[in-house]
Amino acid sequence: MKLTPGLVSIALTVFSYSFTSAFADDPKPKVIYGKDDRLDLFAVTNSRDLALADSTVALISVNGLKPTATGFDIAGDPFGAAYSLCQTERFFEQPTGASCSGSLVGEDLVITAGHCIPDAESCETTKFVFGYGVKEDGVFPTSARSDDVVGCKEIVDRKQIGDGADYAVIRLDRKIENHRPLSINRGADVKNGDKIGVIGHPCGLPTKVAFGESEVRDATPNGFFRANLDTYGGNSGSAVFNTKTGLIEGILVRGENDFVEKDGCRVSHLCAPTGCRGEDVTKISALAHLIPDNPLPPVPPRKPPSSRWPLAASLKR
């Protein structure tokens, strides 16, 4: 995952998939299948999906964070400028502060892609930031509170096997009390046709929630499955959820190229729902033994609350 906006003009074709990073290369970036299902937080009406998003983290380099009296300012070039995009692209003006995505699965544990945190040095230079999302139309996140920015204490386990499993389990430098650990599927792996969704930070953008018509295409490979998820670089490490149960089924790791050239600028690579190669997702069963049982049940679907963002405050551990 390596696209520093300042390097776009130098390495446009090589780094087509995320904002700043000293992290390992993302083997392949991602793409849009059929209708673009990505939503900002303010546009999400399902309270369960909002609760899942509340436990999603943006991986941000310490170089992209400036300490303030109450927390940190977050650096991030506008999406359009950072990626030389055509002005028709969605989220054109939003900032691109993240390098990868992750999810809280224990009181001090986060899961992400293995290539996002390849070694101890990247552990030391990465912060895990909750709440990096657009919660009000037109109001972009440029800062984070101190209690929403957490460091990496150690890599509990990590694997990156070519076109196979790709994951990292990270122990944070403190326990998290204002966000709820997510639950994983400890039963049978997904099967072809299962409906799924993804929450993360495509191209380093603020949180995007994508629960549309995505489904598992091929569940037979060892260590991963393939799906038609609407994802980009920066989504690497995103939790992929079962649409019905809300349980984590895997971690998004690689896929199609993000952008194509058009009239001197770049637009999203669009594929038919059944077209292109598909996106690869590490099966959660590959790392389930490293994740503690969650005493809290998954948040069930219910009517949207009247006020959508007291979620973290209302969660009880």
Average pLDDT estimate for 210-234: 90
Say whether pLDDT at 308 is over 70. Answer: no
CA-closest candidate to residue 268, choices 87, 11, 53:
87
SS3 195: strand
> What distance lies between CA 22 and its chain's CA centroid?
17
The residues that bridge with 74 in the sheet, in sequence order, are 65
pLDDT of 7 higher than 60: no
Q: What is the DSSP string of 217-265?
A: EE--SSSEEEE-----TT-TT-EEEETTT--EEEEEEE-S-SEEEETTE
Res. 275 pLDDT band, cuts 50 70 90? confident
- pLDDT for 283 equals 98
Conformational region of residue 234, where left means phi above 0, alpha means psi within -120 to 50, and beta covers everything else: left
Per-residue pLDDT at 62 = 98
Rounded to an integer, what distance in angstroms lies between the CA atom of residue 303 and that of residue 111? 29
Nearest to 252 by CA among 270, 274, 227: 227
- For 86-102, the pLDDT digits (tens) are 999 999 999 999 999 99
Widest distance between CA atoms in the chain: 53
User: Which has the higher per-residue pLDDT, 9 or 174?
Assistant: 174
Radius of gyration of the chain from its Cα atoms, rounded to whole angstroms = 18
- pLDDT tens digit sequence for 27-50: 444 567 767 889 999 999 999 999
How far is the CA of 277 from the CAs of 29, 31, 47, 250, in angstroms? Answer: 11, 10, 32, 18
Provide CB contacts within 8 A for 186, sequence distance 6+.
288
Q: Considering only CA atoms, which of 114, 110, 123 is closest in space to residue 62?
A: 123
Q: Which residue ranges form the domains of the chain, and what is each CATH number?
A: 1-291 (2.40.10.120)
Closest CA to 239 of 152, 167, 144, 135: 167
Q: What number of H helices and E strands is found in the chain? A: 4, 20
Check residue 31 and give its pLDDT.
Answer: 61
pLDDT for residue 142 is more than 80: yes
Q: Is 153 exposed, middle or buried (0-12, 13-18, 19+ CB in 10 A)?
A: middle
Let me know: does 43 contact 36? Beta carbons within 8 Å.
Answer: no
How large a percentage of the chain has pLDDT more than 90? 70
Which comes out higher in pLDDT, residue 152 or 256?
Answer: 152
Output 283 or 234, whichever has higher pLDDT: 283
DSSP 70-116: SEEEE---BHHHHTTB-TTSTTTTSB---SEEEEEEETTEEEE-GGG
Task: Give the amino acid at 112.
Answer: T
